[in-house]
Amino acid sequence: ETGVTQTPRHLVMGMTNKKSLKCEQHLGHNAMYWYKQSAKKPLELMFVYSLEERVENNSVPSRFSPECPNSSHLFLHLHTLQPEDSALYLCASSQVLGLEQFFGPGTRLTVL
C-alpha cells in the first residue's frame, strides 16, 4: 500500500445518517488535512492536524467532526448533513506543516 488512501470512494447518505470517512497515509508524514472540493469552487481547507493535534479548524460546522488517533490515520465523522455538503472530500498529508501535500483519491459524498 502506497501514498494516501481514502475509504469509501463513494458514499450516499440521508440527512439523518451518521457515517465516517477514513484516511490513511503510508508516507511517515506528521501532518494531515481534510479539504472539501465542491464543483467550480476552490479547495476549502477544513481541518489540519500536526502530530495528532488539531491546529486549524476553519469555521467548519459541528456536523463535521474530525479525529486523528495517530499520525497515520485521520477520520471525518459526519452526522445530520445537508444536501449542500455533497462534495468531494479530500485527505492530504505532508512531512511536516507547510511542506508539499500529497492527496488521497477522495470520497465522493452525496447527501440526499
Partner 1 sequence: GQQLNQSPQSMFIQEGEDVSMNCTSSSIFNTWLWYKQDPGEGPVLLIALYKAGELTSNGRLTAQFGITRKDSFLNISASIPSDVGIYFCAGRALNNNDMRFGAGTRLTVKP
Chain residues in the site for partner 1 (CB under 8 A): 4, 6, 41-43, 45, 90, 92, 94, 97-106, 108
Nearer Cβ to partner 1 (5/80): 5
2-20 in b/e form (b: 16+ CB < 10 A) is: eebebeeeebebeeeeebe
Nearer Cβ to partner 1 (43/60): 43
Nearer Cβ to partner 1 (22/79): 22
Decide if 68 contacts 32 (C-beta within 8 A): yes
